[in-house]
Structure 1
Protein backbone atom coordinates (compact mmCIF):
# COMPACT_ATOMS: atom_id res chain seq x y z
CA UNK A 1 0.00 0.00 0.00
CA UNK A 2 2.81 2.41 0.94
CA UNK A 3 4.59 1.51 -2.31
CA UNK A 4 1.49 2.40 -4.31
CA UNK A 5 1.18 5.77 -2.58
CA UNK A 6 4.85 6.53 -3.19
CA UNK A 7 4.53 5.53 -6.84
CA UNK A 8 1.49 7.78 -7.19
CA UNK A 9 3.39 10.73 -5.74
CA UNK A 10 6.29 10.21 -8.14
CA UNK A 11 3.93 9.98 -11.10
CA UNK A 12 2.15 13.16 -10.04
CA UNK A 13 5.44 15.05 -9.88
CA UNK A 14 6.48 13.77 -13.28
CA UNK A 15 3.12 14.71 -14.69
CA UNK A 16 3.44 18.20 -13.24
CA UNK A 17 6.92 18.79 -14.58
CA UNK A 18 6.19 17.47 -18.06
CA UNK A 19 2.94 19.15 -18.95
CA UNK A 20 4.24 22.73 -18.74
CA UNK A 21 1.40 24.03 -16.60
CA UNK A 22 2.05 27.47 -15.13
CA UNK A 23 2.49 27.36 -11.39
CA UNK A 24 1.24 29.73 -8.68
CA UNK A 25 3.47 30.37 -5.66
CA UNK A 26 1.84 31.56 -2.43
CA UNK A 27 3.42 32.78 0.81
CA UNK A 28 1.47 33.18 4.04
CA UNK A 29 -1.37 30.86 3.06
CA UNK A 30 -1.65 29.50 6.62
CA UNK A 31 -1.85 33.01 8.09
CA UNK A 32 -4.87 35.14 8.97
CA UNK A 33 -5.86 36.47 5.52
CA UNK A 34 -4.05 33.65 3.72
CA UNK A 35 -6.53 31.10 5.07
CA UNK A 36 -9.40 33.06 3.54
CA UNK A 37 -7.52 33.29 0.24
CA UNK A 38 -7.17 29.50 0.34
CA UNK A 39 -10.92 29.23 0.90
CA UNK A 40 -11.52 31.30 -2.22
CA UNK A 41 -9.23 29.05 -4.24
CA UNK A 42 -11.25 26.07 -3.02
CA UNK A 43 -14.68 27.67 -3.57
CA UNK A 44 -13.76 28.69 -7.09
CA UNK A 45 -12.18 25.31 -7.95
CA UNK A 46 -8.85 26.85 -8.87
CA UNK A 47 -7.20 24.82 -11.61
CA UNK A 48 -3.47 24.40 -11.84
CA UNK A 49 -0.56 23.61 -9.55
CA UNK A 50 0.04 25.70 -6.43
CA UNK A 51 3.25 25.81 -4.44
CA UNK A 52 2.93 27.04 -0.86
CA UNK A 53 5.85 28.18 1.26
CA UNK A 54 5.26 27.13 4.88
CA UNK A 55 7.23 26.83 8.08
CA UNK A 56 7.93 23.54 9.81
CA UNK A 57 5.59 24.62 12.61
CA UNK A 58 2.74 25.72 10.31
CA UNK A 59 -0.67 24.09 10.62
CA UNK A 60 -1.24 22.83 7.07
CA UNK A 61 -4.42 20.86 7.72
CA UNK A 62 -6.53 23.19 5.53
CA UNK A 63 -4.04 22.78 2.69
CA UNK A 64 -4.04 19.00 3.07
CA UNK A 65 -7.86 18.85 2.95
CA UNK A 66 -8.29 21.45 0.19
CA UNK A 67 -8.57 19.01 -2.71
CA UNK A 68 -6.39 21.36 -4.76
CA UNK A 69 -3.14 20.49 -6.51
CA UNK A 70 -0.84 21.91 -3.83
CA UNK A 71 2.74 21.13 -2.97
CA UNK A 72 4.29 22.40 0.26
CA UNK A 73 7.79 23.83 0.38
CA UNK A 74 9.05 23.98 3.96
CA UNK A 75 11.71 26.56 4.60
CA UNK A 76 12.77 30.09 5.54
CA UNK A 77 12.00 33.09 3.35
CA UNK A 78 15.27 34.66 4.51
CA UNK A 79 17.19 31.85 2.81
CA UNK A 80 18.22 33.06 -0.68
CA UNK A 81 18.95 29.57 -1.98
CA UNK A 82 15.59 28.31 -0.72
CA UNK A 83 13.76 31.18 -2.42
CA UNK A 84 15.54 30.45 -5.68
CA UNK A 85 14.47 26.81 -5.46
CA UNK A 86 10.87 27.82 -4.74
CA UNK A 87 10.67 29.98 -7.87
CA UNK A 88 11.60 27.23 -10.33
CA UNK A 89 8.75 26.77 -12.80
CA UNK A 90 6.62 29.49 -11.19
CA UNK A 91 4.57 31.88 -13.32
CA UNK A 92 2.74 33.95 -10.70
CA UNK A 93 3.32 34.83 -7.06
CA UNK A 94 0.86 35.91 -4.35
CA UNK A 95 2.97 37.20 -1.47
CA UNK A 96 0.88 37.58 1.69
CA UNK A 97 3.14 36.79 4.59
CA UNK A 98 5.07 40.02 5.35
CA UNK A 99 6.20 43.15 3.53
CA UNK A 100 9.70 42.68 5.00
CA UNK A 101 10.22 39.65 2.74
CA UNK A 102 9.12 41.41 -0.45
CA UNK A 103 12.51 42.51 -1.78
CA UNK A 104 14.35 39.14 -1.69
CA UNK A 105 11.23 37.39 -2.93
CA UNK A 106 10.87 39.71 -5.93
CA UNK A 107 14.58 39.43 -6.70
CA UNK A 108 14.25 35.64 -6.75
CA UNK A 109 11.15 35.95 -8.94
CA UNK A 110 12.96 38.15 -11.45
CA UNK A 111 15.93 35.78 -11.52
CA UNK A 112 13.58 32.93 -12.45
CA UNK A 113 11.56 34.88 -15.04
CA UNK A 114 8.32 34.98 -13.04
CA UNK A 115 5.81 37.05 -14.98
CA UNK A 116 3.60 38.49 -12.26
CA UNK A 117 3.64 39.10 -8.50
CA UNK A 118 0.89 40.31 -6.17
CA UNK A 119 2.29 41.65 -2.89
CA UNK A 120 0.24 42.46 0.19
CA UNK A 121 1.66 45.58 1.83
CA UNK A 122 -0.10 48.18 4.00
CA UNK A 123 -1.72 51.62 4.12
CA UNK A 124 0.59 52.28 7.08
CA UNK A 125 3.00 53.72 4.51
CA UNK A 126 0.72 56.77 4.28
CA UNK A 127 1.07 57.64 7.97
CA UNK A 128 2.75 60.95 8.84
CA UNK A 129 4.46 59.26 11.77
CA UNK A 130 7.91 57.78 11.24
CA UNK A 131 7.37 54.64 13.32
CA UNK A 132 4.38 53.60 11.21
CA UNK A 133 5.70 54.44 7.75
CA UNK A 134 9.48 54.81 7.49
CA UNK A 135 10.42 51.14 7.13
CA UNK A 136 7.66 50.54 4.58
CA UNK A 137 8.72 53.56 2.54
CA UNK A 138 12.33 52.37 2.41
CA UNK A 139 11.24 48.93 1.21
CA UNK A 140 8.98 50.32 -1.50
CA UNK A 141 11.59 52.83 -2.71
CA UNK A 142 14.04 49.95 -3.14
CA UNK A 143 11.32 47.93 -4.87
CA UNK A 144 10.74 50.73 -7.39
CA UNK A 145 14.46 50.79 -8.14
CA UNK A 146 14.39 47.05 -8.81
CA UNK A 147 11.28 47.31 -11.00
CA UNK A 148 12.81 50.07 -13.11
CA UNK A 149 15.18 47.49 -14.59
CA UNK A 150 12.77 44.61 -15.22
CA UNK A 151 9.45 43.81 -16.90
CA UNK A 152 7.83 41.76 -14.13
CA UNK A 153 4.19 42.78 -13.56
CA UNK A 154 3.73 43.88 -9.93
CA UNK A 155 0.53 44.69 -8.03
CA UNK A 156 0.64 46.10 -4.50
CA UNK A 157 -2.41 45.52 -2.28
CA UNK A 158 -2.83 47.82 0.71
CA UNK A 159 -5.24 46.66 3.40
CA UNK A 160 -6.24 49.00 6.20
CA UNK A 161 -6.58 47.74 9.80
CA UNK A 162 -7.33 44.00 9.49
CA UNK A 163 -9.86 42.25 11.73
CA UNK A 164 -12.37 39.45 11.38
CA UNK A 165 -11.74 36.76 13.99
CA UNK A 166 -9.84 36.19 17.21
CA UNK A 167 -6.46 35.69 15.54
CA UNK A 168 -6.36 39.29 14.30
CA UNK A 169 -4.00 41.64 16.10
CA UNK A 170 -6.31 44.62 16.21
CA UNK A 171 -9.97 44.34 17.13
CA UNK A 172 -9.46 41.15 19.14
CA UNK A 173 -7.29 43.16 21.56
CA UNK A 174 -9.88 45.92 21.81
CA UNK A 175 -12.62 43.37 22.49
CA UNK A 176 -10.66 41.95 25.42
CA UNK A 177 -9.95 45.42 26.78
CA UNK A 178 -13.55 46.59 26.58
CA UNK A 179 -14.66 43.34 28.21
CA UNK A 180 -12.20 43.60 31.11
CA UNK A 181 -12.18 47.35 31.83
CA UNK A 182 -15.11 49.12 33.45
CA UNK A 183 -13.46 52.47 32.72
CA UNK A 184 -11.88 52.64 29.27
CA UNK A 185 -9.35 55.42 28.46
CA UNK A 186 -9.45 57.03 25.00
CA UNK A 187 -7.39 59.77 23.39
CA UNK A 188 -8.86 63.02 22.07
CA UNK A 189 -12.49 61.87 22.45
CA UNK A 190 -11.81 58.93 20.13
CA UNK A 191 -12.39 61.16 17.09
CA UNK A 192 -9.69 59.56 14.94
CA UNK A 193 -11.22 57.75 11.96
CA UNK A 194 -10.40 54.13 11.13
CA UNK A 195 -11.67 51.87 8.35
CA UNK A 196 -11.18 48.25 9.46
CA UNK A 197 -11.30 45.58 6.76
CA UNK A 198 -12.47 42.03 7.35
CA UNK A 199 -9.98 39.25 6.56
CA UNK A 200 -12.74 37.44 4.64
CA UNK A 201 -13.04 40.37 2.23
CA UNK A 202 -9.27 40.40 1.76
CA UNK A 203 -9.21 36.71 0.86
CA UNK A 204 -11.78 37.40 -1.86
CA UNK A 205 -9.85 40.45 -3.05
CA UNK A 206 -6.57 38.53 -3.36
CA UNK A 207 -8.31 35.92 -5.49
CA UNK A 208 -10.10 38.46 -7.69
CA UNK A 209 -6.89 40.40 -8.34
CA UNK A 210 -5.17 37.14 -9.26
CA UNK A 211 -7.89 36.52 -11.85
CA UNK A 212 -7.53 39.93 -13.53
CA UNK A 213 -5.64 39.70 -16.86
CA UNK A 214 -2.11 41.07 -16.55
CA UNK A 215 -2.75 43.88 -19.02
CA UNK A 216 -5.75 45.21 -17.04
CA UNK A 217 -4.48 45.13 -13.46
CA UNK A 218 -3.20 48.34 -11.84
CA UNK A 219 0.04 48.80 -9.93
CA UNK A 220 -1.71 49.20 -6.57
CA UNK A 221 -5.09 48.95 -4.87
CA UNK A 222 -6.22 50.12 -1.46
CA UNK A 223 -8.33 47.48 0.30
CA UNK A 224 -10.17 49.37 3.02
CA UNK A 225 -13.30 48.53 4.97
CA UNK A 226 -16.81 49.55 3.97
CA UNK A 227 -16.87 53.03 5.55
CA UNK A 228 -14.80 55.13 7.99
CA UNK A 229 -15.82 54.99 11.63
CA UNK A 230 -14.61 57.01 14.62
CA UNK A 231 -12.53 54.98 17.05
CA UNK A 232 -14.94 55.74 19.89
CA UNK A 233 -17.90 54.55 17.83
CA UNK A 234 -16.05 51.30 17.10
CA UNK A 235 -15.48 50.81 20.85
CA UNK A 236 -19.15 51.53 21.53
CA UNK A 237 -20.21 48.87 19.03
CA UNK A 238 -17.95 46.36 20.77
CA UNK A 239 -19.42 47.45 24.10
CA UNK A 240 -22.95 46.98 22.73
CA UNK A 241 -22.34 43.47 21.41
CA UNK A 242 -20.58 42.48 24.64
CA UNK A 243 -23.63 43.80 26.52
CA UNK A 244 -21.33 45.78 28.83
CA UNK A 245 -21.75 49.14 30.57
CA UNK A 246 -18.29 50.51 29.99
CA UNK A 247 -17.53 54.17 30.70
CA UNK A 248 -15.23 55.77 28.16
CA UNK A 249 -12.98 58.48 29.62
CA UNK A 250 -11.28 60.85 27.20
CA UNK A 251 -7.85 62.35 27.77
CA UNK A 252 -6.54 65.29 25.71
CA UNK A 253 -3.93 64.36 23.12
CA UNK A 254 -1.31 66.63 24.69
CA UNK A 255 -1.75 65.07 28.13
CA UNK A 256 -1.66 61.55 26.69
CA UNK A 257 1.58 62.29 24.84
CA UNK A 258 3.05 63.74 28.05
CA UNK A 259 2.26 60.50 29.91
CA UNK A 260 3.83 58.48 27.09
CA UNK A 261 6.98 60.62 27.18
CA UNK A 262 7.19 60.28 30.96
CA UNK A 263 6.87 56.51 30.64
CA UNK A 264 9.69 56.44 28.08
CA UNK A 265 11.88 58.54 30.39
CA UNK A 266 11.05 56.42 33.44
CA UNK A 267 11.92 53.17 31.59
CA UNK A 268 15.07 54.61 29.96
CA UNK A 269 13.52 54.23 26.52
CA UNK A 270 12.50 50.60 26.88
CA UNK A 271 8.78 51.48 26.70
CA UNK A 272 8.06 54.01 23.96
CA UNK A 273 4.38 54.52 23.11
CA UNK A 274 4.62 58.15 22.00
CA UNK A 275 3.84 57.67 18.31
CA UNK A 276 1.25 54.98 19.09
CA UNK A 277 -0.59 57.50 21.24
CA UNK A 278 -0.27 60.18 18.57
CA UNK A 279 -1.65 57.83 15.94
CA UNK A 280 -4.81 57.36 17.99
CA UNK A 281 -5.89 60.77 16.72
CA UNK A 282 -4.69 60.22 13.13
CA UNK A 283 -7.36 59.50 10.53
CA UNK A 284 -6.67 56.13 8.91
CA UNK A 285 -9.34 55.91 6.25
CA UNK A 286 -8.83 55.49 2.50
CA UNK A 287 -10.97 55.11 -0.61
CA UNK A 288 -11.23 51.72 -2.32
CA UNK A 289 -13.03 53.00 -5.42
CA UNK A 290 -10.42 51.65 -7.86
CA UNK A 291 -10.74 48.16 -6.38
CA UNK A 292 -14.52 48.44 -6.59
CA UNK A 293 -14.34 49.49 -10.25
CA UNK A 294 -11.77 46.91 -11.36
CA UNK A 295 -12.91 43.77 -9.53
CA UNK A 296 -16.17 44.66 -7.76
CA UNK A 297 -14.59 44.91 -4.33
CA UNK A 298 -17.47 45.26 -1.84
CA UNK A 299 -16.35 44.84 1.80
CA UNK A 300 -18.99 44.12 4.40
CA UNK A 301 -20.06 46.79 6.93
CA UNK A 302 -17.98 46.91 10.10
CA UNK A 303 -21.09 46.43 12.22
CA UNK A 304 -21.63 42.94 10.80
CA UNK A 305 -18.03 41.85 11.05
CA UNK A 306 -17.42 43.08 14.59
CA UNK A 307 -20.67 41.51 15.84
CA UNK A 308 -19.49 38.16 14.46
CA UNK A 309 -16.08 38.55 16.09
CA UNK A 310 -17.55 39.53 19.48
CA UNK A 311 -19.87 36.52 19.26
CA UNK A 312 -16.85 34.30 18.61
CA UNK A 313 -15.11 35.84 21.62
CA UNK A 314 -18.12 35.23 23.90
CA UNK A 315 -18.48 31.65 22.71
CA UNK A 316 -14.83 31.02 23.47
CA UNK A 317 -15.27 32.52 26.94
CA UNK A 318 -18.16 30.16 27.66
CA UNK A 319 -16.22 27.11 26.48
CA UNK A 320 -13.09 28.18 28.38
Structure 2
Protein backbone atom coordinates (compact mmCIF):
# COMPACT_ATOMS: atom_id res chain seq x y z
CA UNK A 1 0.00 0.00 0.00
CA UNK A 2 1.13 3.56 -0.75
CA UNK A 3 0.63 6.64 1.42
CA UNK A 4 0.68 10.13 -0.09
CA UNK A 5 0.78 13.46 1.74
CA UNK A 6 0.08 16.79 0.06
CA UNK A 7 -2.24 15.44 -2.62
CA UNK A 8 -4.53 18.49 -2.19
CA UNK A 9 -1.65 20.92 -2.80
CA UNK A 10 -0.51 22.53 -6.05
CA UNK A 11 1.77 19.87 -7.53
CA UNK A 12 -0.05 17.15 -5.56
CA UNK A 13 -3.23 17.65 -7.58
CA UNK A 14 -1.28 17.22 -10.79
CA UNK A 15 0.20 14.03 -9.33
CA UNK A 16 -3.33 12.85 -8.63
CA UNK A 17 -4.23 13.48 -12.28
CA UNK A 18 -1.32 11.26 -13.35
CA UNK A 19 -2.52 8.47 -11.06
CA UNK A 20 -5.96 8.68 -12.68
CA UNK A 21 -4.58 9.01 -16.20
CA UNK A 22 -2.42 5.91 -15.85
CA UNK A 23 -5.17 3.99 -14.00
CA UNK A 24 -2.87 3.22 -11.11
CA UNK A 25 -4.24 0.10 -9.43
CA UNK A 26 -2.24 -0.24 -6.21
CA UNK A 27 -4.00 0.72 -2.99
CA UNK A 28 -3.38 4.35 -2.02
CA UNK A 29 -3.93 6.08 1.30
CA UNK A 30 -4.16 9.88 1.04
CA UNK A 31 -3.11 11.60 4.27
CA UNK A 32 -4.80 15.02 4.46
CA UNK A 33 -5.60 17.73 6.99
CA UNK A 34 -9.01 17.82 8.64
CA UNK A 35 -9.83 21.00 6.73
CA UNK A 36 -8.62 19.81 3.30
CA UNK A 37 -10.98 19.77 0.33
CA UNK A 38 -10.96 16.19 -0.95
CA UNK A 39 -14.06 16.40 -3.16
CA UNK A 40 -11.90 15.99 -6.29
CA UNK A 41 -10.68 12.55 -5.15
CA UNK A 42 -12.66 9.87 -6.94
CA UNK A 43 -14.58 7.24 -5.03
CA UNK A 44 -12.45 4.29 -6.10
CA UNK A 45 -11.96 1.00 -4.29
CA UNK A 46 -8.17 1.45 -4.16
CA UNK A 47 -8.37 5.03 -2.77
CA UNK A 48 -8.61 5.68 0.94
CA UNK A 49 -8.54 9.03 2.76
CA UNK A 50 -7.19 9.47 6.29
CA UNK A 51 -7.39 12.85 7.99
CA UNK A 52 -4.33 13.29 10.17
CA UNK A 53 -2.13 15.97 11.69
CA UNK A 54 1.43 15.40 10.47
CA UNK A 55 2.69 16.97 13.70
CA UNK A 56 0.94 14.34 15.84
CA UNK A 57 3.43 11.48 16.12
CA UNK A 58 1.05 8.84 17.47
CA UNK A 59 -1.73 9.38 14.94
CA UNK A 60 0.81 9.66 12.10
CA UNK A 61 2.46 6.39 13.11
CA UNK A 62 -0.93 4.72 13.19
CA UNK A 63 -1.88 6.15 9.79
CA UNK A 64 1.27 4.70 8.23
CA UNK A 65 0.75 1.15 9.45
CA UNK A 66 0.77 -1.45 6.66
CA UNK A 67 2.32 1.08 4.25
CA UNK A 68 5.15 -0.01 1.95
CA UNK A 69 5.91 3.29 0.15
CA UNK A 70 5.38 6.91 1.18
CA UNK A 71 5.35 9.92 -1.15
CA UNK A 72 5.65 13.02 1.01
CA UNK A 73 4.73 16.25 -0.81
CA UNK A 74 3.12 18.19 2.03
CA UNK A 75 6.21 20.13 3.13
CA UNK A 76 9.82 19.74 4.19
CA UNK A 77 8.94 20.79 7.74
CA UNK A 78 7.16 17.45 8.27
CA UNK A 79 9.83 15.21 6.71
CA UNK A 80 11.48 14.11 9.96
CA UNK A 81 8.13 13.19 11.49
CA UNK A 82 7.31 11.19 8.38
CA UNK A 83 10.62 9.28 8.26
CA UNK A 84 10.47 8.38 11.96
CA UNK A 85 6.92 7.03 11.62
CA UNK A 86 7.94 5.20 8.44
CA UNK A 87 10.81 3.44 10.18
CA UNK A 88 8.63 2.44 13.12
CA UNK A 89 6.23 0.84 10.62
CA UNK A 90 9.10 -0.74 8.67
CA UNK A 91 8.15 0.98 5.44
CA UNK A 92 10.42 0.04 2.56
CA UNK A 93 10.60 3.27 0.59
CA UNK A 94 10.21 7.01 1.15
CA UNK A 95 10.03 9.72 -1.53
CA UNK A 96 10.24 13.27 -0.17
CA UNK A 97 9.74 16.54 -2.03
CA UNK A 98 12.20 19.06 -0.60
CA UNK A 99 13.63 22.21 -2.17
CA UNK A 100 16.61 23.76 -3.94
CA UNK A 101 16.33 26.54 -1.35
CA UNK A 102 18.95 24.68 0.67
CA UNK A 103 21.51 25.75 -1.96
CA UNK A 104 21.05 29.45 -1.25
CA UNK A 105 23.99 31.35 0.20
CA UNK A 106 21.68 33.30 2.46
CA UNK A 107 21.21 31.92 5.95
CA UNK A 108 17.48 32.41 6.44
CA UNK A 109 16.62 30.82 3.11
CA UNK A 110 18.85 27.79 3.58
CA UNK A 111 19.74 27.00 7.19
CA UNK A 112 16.48 25.32 8.22
CA UNK A 113 16.36 23.27 5.01
CA UNK A 114 19.99 22.18 5.39
CA UNK A 115 19.39 21.04 8.96
CA UNK A 116 16.41 18.91 7.93
CA UNK A 117 18.34 17.44 4.98
CA UNK A 118 21.22 16.49 7.26
CA UNK A 119 18.91 14.87 9.80
CA UNK A 120 17.07 12.97 7.07
CA UNK A 121 20.34 11.62 5.61
CA UNK A 122 21.04 9.83 8.87
CA UNK A 123 18.10 7.51 8.21
CA UNK A 124 19.28 6.38 4.76
CA UNK A 125 20.61 3.12 6.21
CA UNK A 126 17.19 2.28 7.65
CA UNK A 127 14.93 3.14 4.71
CA UNK A 128 15.43 3.89 1.02
CA UNK A 129 14.92 7.64 0.67
CA UNK A 130 14.55 9.46 -2.65
CA UNK A 131 14.84 13.25 -2.41
CA UNK A 132 13.22 15.43 -5.08
CA UNK A 133 14.16 19.11 -5.24
CA UNK A 134 11.90 21.31 -7.35
CA UNK A 135 13.01 24.83 -8.20
CA UNK A 136 10.55 27.75 -8.26
CA UNK A 137 7.11 26.18 -8.81
CA UNK A 138 4.53 27.91 -11.02
CA UNK A 139 1.66 27.04 -13.34
CA UNK A 140 -1.55 28.26 -11.65
CA UNK A 141 -2.62 31.34 -9.71
CA UNK A 142 -2.33 29.34 -6.47
CA UNK A 143 1.47 29.37 -6.78
CA UNK A 144 3.43 31.77 -4.59
CA UNK A 145 5.93 32.74 -7.26
CA UNK A 146 4.94 33.78 -10.78
CA UNK A 147 1.42 34.77 -9.73
CA UNK A 148 2.95 37.64 -7.73
CA UNK A 149 4.97 38.83 -10.72
CA UNK A 150 1.90 38.65 -12.96
CA UNK A 151 -0.12 40.79 -10.56
CA UNK A 152 2.64 43.36 -10.08
CA UNK A 153 3.35 43.73 -13.79
CA UNK A 154 -0.36 44.15 -14.47
CA UNK A 155 -0.92 46.73 -11.74
CA UNK A 156 2.29 48.79 -11.59
CA UNK A 157 2.91 51.41 -14.26
CA UNK A 158 6.55 51.59 -13.15
CA UNK A 159 7.99 48.20 -12.26
CA UNK A 160 11.13 48.20 -10.05
CA UNK A 161 13.58 45.87 -11.80
CA UNK A 162 16.11 44.97 -9.09
CA UNK A 163 19.69 44.37 -10.24
CA UNK A 164 18.53 44.55 -13.84
CA UNK A 165 16.77 41.21 -13.46
CA UNK A 166 19.89 39.41 -14.66
CA UNK A 167 19.79 36.61 -12.10
CA UNK A 168 19.15 33.20 -13.64
CA UNK A 169 16.10 31.24 -12.55
CA UNK A 170 14.63 27.96 -13.78
CA UNK A 171 10.93 27.78 -12.85
CA UNK A 172 9.27 24.38 -13.08
CA UNK A 173 5.61 23.86 -13.93
CA UNK A 174 3.52 22.03 -11.31
CA UNK A 175 2.15 19.68 -13.98
CA UNK A 176 5.69 18.59 -14.86
CA UNK A 177 6.26 17.85 -11.18
CA UNK A 178 3.08 15.78 -10.97
CA UNK A 179 4.32 13.61 -13.82
CA UNK A 180 7.81 13.40 -12.27
CA UNK A 181 6.35 12.14 -8.98
CA UNK A 182 4.55 9.38 -10.88
CA UNK A 183 7.67 8.49 -12.85
CA UNK A 184 9.75 8.23 -9.68
CA UNK A 185 7.07 6.17 -7.93
CA UNK A 186 6.98 3.64 -10.76
CA UNK A 187 10.74 3.46 -11.31
CA UNK A 188 12.68 1.45 -8.74
CA UNK A 189 15.95 2.75 -10.24
CA UNK A 190 15.31 6.02 -8.41
CA UNK A 191 15.42 4.50 -4.92
CA UNK A 192 17.90 6.14 -2.54
CA UNK A 193 18.84 8.90 -5.00
CA UNK A 194 18.44 12.67 -5.19
CA UNK A 195 17.09 14.65 -8.12
CA UNK A 196 16.70 18.29 -9.03
CA UNK A 197 13.45 19.04 -10.83
CA UNK A 198 13.88 22.32 -12.69
CA UNK A 199 12.37 23.99 -15.74
CA UNK A 200 13.48 23.39 -19.31
CA UNK A 201 16.48 25.75 -19.19
CA UNK A 202 17.91 28.69 -17.22
CA UNK A 203 16.34 32.02 -18.03
CA UNK A 204 17.07 35.55 -16.83
CA UNK A 205 14.39 36.95 -14.55
CA UNK A 206 14.05 40.01 -16.78
CA UNK A 207 13.22 37.76 -19.74
CA UNK A 208 10.52 36.03 -17.68
CA UNK A 209 9.08 39.40 -16.76
CA UNK A 210 9.08 40.55 -20.38
CA UNK A 211 7.31 37.36 -21.46
CA UNK A 212 4.64 38.01 -18.82
CA UNK A 213 4.39 41.65 -19.91
CA UNK A 214 3.92 40.66 -23.54
CA UNK A 215 1.29 38.02 -22.80
CA UNK A 216 -0.57 40.46 -20.54
CA UNK A 217 -0.32 43.14 -23.22
CA UNK A 218 0.83 45.45 -20.43
CA UNK A 219 2.34 48.87 -21.10
CA UNK A 220 4.27 49.43 -17.87
CA UNK A 221 7.89 50.52 -17.76
CA UNK A 222 10.74 48.61 -16.12
CA UNK A 223 12.85 50.87 -13.90
CA UNK A 224 16.34 49.63 -13.07
CA UNK A 225 17.05 49.60 -9.32
CA UNK A 226 20.64 48.76 -8.23
CA UNK A 227 20.82 45.84 -5.85
CA UNK A 228 22.57 47.89 -3.16
CA UNK A 229 19.76 50.47 -3.25
CA UNK A 230 17.08 47.82 -3.05
CA UNK A 231 18.78 46.20 -0.06
CA UNK A 232 19.18 49.59 1.64
CA UNK A 233 15.49 50.32 1.07
CA UNK A 234 14.52 46.93 2.51
CA UNK A 235 16.61 47.63 5.63
CA UNK A 236 14.95 51.03 6.03
CA UNK A 237 11.53 49.41 5.70
CA UNK A 238 12.41 46.90 8.39
CA UNK A 239 13.60 49.70 10.68
CA UNK A 240 10.53 51.89 10.10
CA UNK A 241 8.16 48.96 10.65
CA UNK A 242 10.01 47.97 13.84
CA UNK A 243 10.94 44.65 12.30
CA UNK A 244 7.43 43.70 11.24
CA UNK A 245 8.30 43.91 7.56
CA UNK A 246 11.53 42.08 6.80
CA UNK A 247 12.15 41.41 3.11
CA UNK A 248 15.92 41.90 3.19
CA UNK A 249 16.84 38.34 2.21
CA UNK A 250 14.12 38.23 -0.45
CA UNK A 251 15.68 41.31 -2.02
CA UNK A 252 19.20 39.93 -1.66
CA UNK A 253 18.16 36.78 -3.51
CA UNK A 254 17.13 38.91 -6.48
CA UNK A 255 20.83 39.04 -7.23
CA UNK A 256 21.40 35.31 -6.73
CA UNK A 257 21.28 32.75 -9.54
CA UNK A 258 18.72 30.00 -8.86
CA UNK A 259 19.12 27.72 -11.86
CA UNK A 260 19.95 24.04 -11.42
CA UNK A 261 20.58 21.17 -13.81
CA UNK A 262 18.05 18.32 -14.06
CA UNK A 263 20.05 15.95 -16.28
CA UNK A 264 20.00 13.13 -13.71
CA UNK A 265 16.19 13.18 -13.66
CA UNK A 266 16.07 13.12 -17.46
CA UNK A 267 18.53 10.23 -17.59
CA UNK A 268 16.91 8.07 -14.90
CA UNK A 269 13.18 8.54 -15.51
CA UNK A 270 12.72 10.70 -18.61
CA UNK A 271 11.96 14.06 -16.99
CA UNK A 272 11.18 16.55 -19.80
CA UNK A 273 9.87 19.87 -18.43
CA UNK A 274 8.14 22.40 -20.67
CA UNK A 275 9.54 25.77 -21.68
CA UNK A 276 8.59 28.83 -19.62
CA UNK A 277 6.75 30.60 -22.47
CA UNK A 278 4.41 27.63 -22.81
CA UNK A 279 4.03 27.07 -19.08
CA UNK A 280 3.16 30.63 -18.09
CA UNK A 281 0.50 31.04 -20.80
CA UNK A 282 -2.33 29.25 -18.99
CA UNK A 283 -1.53 30.98 -15.70
CA UNK A 284 -1.92 34.35 -17.39
CA UNK A 285 -5.19 33.19 -18.97
CA UNK A 286 -6.39 32.29 -15.48
CA UNK A 287 -5.42 35.74 -14.25
CA UNK A 288 -7.31 37.46 -17.07
CA UNK A 289 -10.39 35.32 -16.38
CA UNK A 290 -10.22 36.17 -12.68
CA UNK A 291 -10.26 39.89 -13.47
CA UNK A 292 -13.44 39.74 -15.54
Q: What band does the TM-score fall into relative to the shorter chain? A: over 0.9
| Alignment partner of 1:210 out of 175, 185, 195 | 185
Contact 1:46 1:68 in 2 (8 A): no
Contact 1:42 1:68 in 2 (8 A): no
In 1, the alpha carbon distance for the partners of 2:258 and 2:225 equals 20
Compute the RMSD of aligned alpha carbons: 1.1
Asked whether 1:257 is paired with 2:235, we answer no
Contact 2:154 2:218 in 1 (8 A): yes
Deviation for aligned residue 1:69: 1.4
In 2, the alpha carbon distance for the partners of 1:143 and 1:305 equals 32
Contact 2:184 2:190 in 1 (8 A): no
Asked whether 1:173 is paired with 2:151, we answer no
After TM superposition, the structure 1 stretch with the greater mean CA deviation from structure 2, 53-62 or 221-230, is 53-62
1:24 — aligned with what? Answer: 2
1:20 — aligned with what? Answer: none
2:137 — aligned with what? Answer: 162
Q: TM-score normalized by structure 2? A: 0.97
1:103 — aligned with what? Answer: 80
1:56 — aligned with what? Answer: 34
Deviation for aligned residue 1:312: 1.3
| Alignment partner of 1:35 out of 13, 31, 38 | 13
In 1, the alpha carbon distance for the partners of 2:210 and 2:291 equals 20
In 1, the alpha carbon distance for the partners of 2:203 and 2:45 equals 39
| Alignment partner of 1:74 out of 41, 51, 73 | 51
Give the gaps of 5 or more residues in structure 1: 1-22
After TM superposition, the structure 1 stretch with the greater mean CA deviation from structure 2, 257-266 or 27-36, is 257-266
In 1, the alpha carbon distance for the partners of 2:218 and 2:3 equals 45
Pair 1:54–1:216, CA change in 2 (3 A) = closer
Deviations 1:254-279 (A, max 9, x none): 11111111111222222111111110
2:245 — aligned with what? Answer: 271
Give the number of equivalent residue pairs.
292
In 2, the alpha carbon distance for the partners of 1:61 and 1:247 equals 43
Deviation for aligned residue 1:61: 1.4
The runs of at least 4 aligned residues of structure 1 exceeding 4 Å deviation read none
Higher Cα radius of gyration: 1
After TM superposition, the structure 1 stretch with the greater mean CA deviation from structure 2, 219-228 or 269-278, is 269-278
Pair 1:216–1:146, CA change in 2 (3 A) = closer
Deviation for aligned residue 1:218: 4.8
Give the gaps of 5 or more residues in structure 2: none
2:100 — aligned with what? Answer: 123
Asked whether 1:185 is paired with 2:160, we answer yes
The DSSP-based 3-state class of the residue aligned with 2:71 is strand
In 2, the alpha carbon distance for the partners of 1:258 and 1:97 equals 35
In 2, the alpha carbon distance for the partners of 1:295 and 1:216 equals 8
The DSSP-based 3-state class of the residue aligned with 1:132 is helix
In 2, the alpha carbon distance for the partners of 1:212 and 1:37 equals 15
The DSSP-based 3-state class of the residue aligned with 2:49 is strand
Asked whether 1:113 is paired with 2:90, we answer yes
Contact 2:52 2:63 in 1 (8 A): no
Deviation for aligned residue 1:60: 0.6
Pair 1:75–1:191, CA change in 2 (3 A) = same
1:233 — aligned with what? Answer: 207
| Alignment partner of 1:45 out of 23, 27, 39 | 23
